[in-house]
Amino acid sequence: MVITKPFSSYILKKNMWRDGFMEFKMCSLPASGKSIISNANTTVQSDIIVPDTKPDIFKVLAVKSVVDLADSHIKKDKINFSGKIRHNILYVGEENPTNICTIEYSTPFGCVCEKNGITEDTAIKYGCGVTKSLCEVVNSRKISVEANVEIQINAIDISKTEVISGEEIPESLAYKSCEYSYDTLRASNRLEFVVSDTVDIGAGEGFEIYDIQAYNEVSEIKAVNNKAVIKGIVNVFILYNDDGKISGYSTEIPYTEIVDIENLASDQTLISHFEISSVDYELPNDDDTVQMTVSIVIRGNIWGYAEESNTIATDIYSPDYAYDIRLNKCILSKVSDVKETRISVKDTLVSTNPSSPISKVYCAWSDITKMESHISDGVVKIEGTMESTAIYCDEYDNLHSAKGVTPFETEIEFSFADKSCQALADASVISSGFVMTSTSDIQIRTVIKLSSAIVSDAETQTITSFSLDEKSSVKKDEQPSILVYYPDDSKTLWDIAKKYNTTCEEIIDVNSLDKDNPIIPGVPVLIPKRYVK
């Protein structure tokens, strides 16, 4: 939570202004600082014609879709996104039901997120994915794919506002101040890097790549002087045809990337999100062996929060002169460290044709199709759904696919979390494997990495300007007088002194009050009214 330490001053001494103008020490605060969490959805329709070099469609095994969100433009109360969705359609041709055929197709799309509070001074962190994909075989040469793309957005206003500090206030004024410890977004960057490696695959006649699965796991991010060192591993599975046989190859590609991020420092709290936006490969012309070059494009965001503290004036008044004060509300945030956990999710896929037992499983993969978080006292609950797909053959080598949807959930403990906080949660698949448990069942075991940070917001009153009118002095009585005041629960000593143009110290002195507990509801206090000497 935002840490506060209140201070007050009720001193009334010599004048320190000239012609109504007063000089104050100013400090810079976030104009808003509040995190905006939102999402945007769009449906992308793709009508895909089978290329002339490909056989007619007998049945579609699976559609693998990857969102490549390339660009974003921020306007008032909205963000315009643009990118493309890449489809890899795996199907069985009419001529050979024992072989996989593939079609790769890309469709551009645009999406708008409308949200009040977004401005050109907003930093955004976002992730995207396909939450639902429907495939319809229109005819043997045409298929229609409808994919729902969801973009999850975290935005924060990074503009600053100047407010009056609680330090070095002229002694002629009564004021209240408070020391705040809070976090500001000091560094933010949308980044992209490529992880590539060469893998050796023994290949014979008719070598063909069907599909490449890739899962990214970032193991460490270290900030050093305007740079981020990112370490991780990409788990890769290649499904291919070798001499007429369907085969698979697994490998791990470790990487270390150094990216430039302005204002990033080692003492900052880092919030990040990464996702694979595309997977490409290149084959040599050598017919004897295949040394594939696999390239994985990873996009993401890194935010760096720095701790700051300031003593801020929250109220000022003059007992002697009329004044003009301009108040403002600021939202100050405190960001916790990121906590991570891993869970293993199991899903059992059942053969789509019970009369044809499963003979061999060629590949399987899992994708997160939904993720949301909820905060209760002391915990962040992250839950969602995972969709799994497996491609297998029966005893006659005919190809089939099986699909399943499995929910998942976990809790991450935060001692100060409550419903007033916001959770910056993230979830990603880092590995997926399978085992054939029977001739009718395939068990998919997926490891999901989940993380969250907690943001707590505190609204505080600030002062952007204060000036006096020397020509309009406070009206004073000709003779000394005392006002008897009966306080209630709604009034503080400060409120009473400000209302009657006196000071807290004067009221305390006249009534011999306890400074720690000066006001008791219903117990009268005497208020000295100012007079002309």
**Distance between CA atoms of 403 and 487, rounded to whole angstroms?**
70
Q: Quick: pLDDT tens for 349-393.
A: 998 877 788 999 999 999 999 999 999 888 999 999 999 999 999
Q: How many CB atoms lie within 10 A of CB 481?
A: 11
- How high is the mean pLDDT of the chain? 87
Residue 322 scores a pLDDT above 70:
yes
Amino acid in position 28: S
- Burial of 321 (C-beta count, 10 Å sphere; 0-12/13-18/19+): buried
Read off the DSSP letter of residue 33.
-
495 φ, ψ (degrees, to nearest 5): -60, -40
Measured in residues, the chain has a length of: 533
Domains with residue ranges and CATH for the chain: 36-155 (no CATH), 476-529 (3.10.350.10)
Residue 435 scores a pLDDT above 90:
yes
Most confident of 131-145, 157-171, 482-496: 131-145
Helices then strands, counting H and E runs in the chain, come out as: 2, 24
Q: β-strands 35-49, 208-223: how paired?
A: unpaired
Predicted pLDDT of residue 2: 47
Token pair belonging to 352 = 């789509």
SS3 of 453-517: the string is EEEEEEEEEEEEEEEEEEEEECCCECCCEEEEECCCCCCCHHHHHHHCCCCHHHHHHHHCCCCCC
Q: How confident is the model at residue 419 (pLDDT cuts 50, 70, 90)?
A: confident
Q: How confident is the model at residue 6 (pLDDT cuts 50, 70, 90)?
A: very low
Residue 440 and residue 351 in contact, taking contact as beta carbons nearer than 8 Å: yes
What Å distances lie between residue 133 and 74, 110, 126, 198, 408, CA to CA? 28, 17, 21, 32, 20
Residue 4 scores a pLDDT above 50:
no
Q: What is the pTM of this model?
A: 0.86
Closest CA to 425 of 388, 446, 459, 454: 454
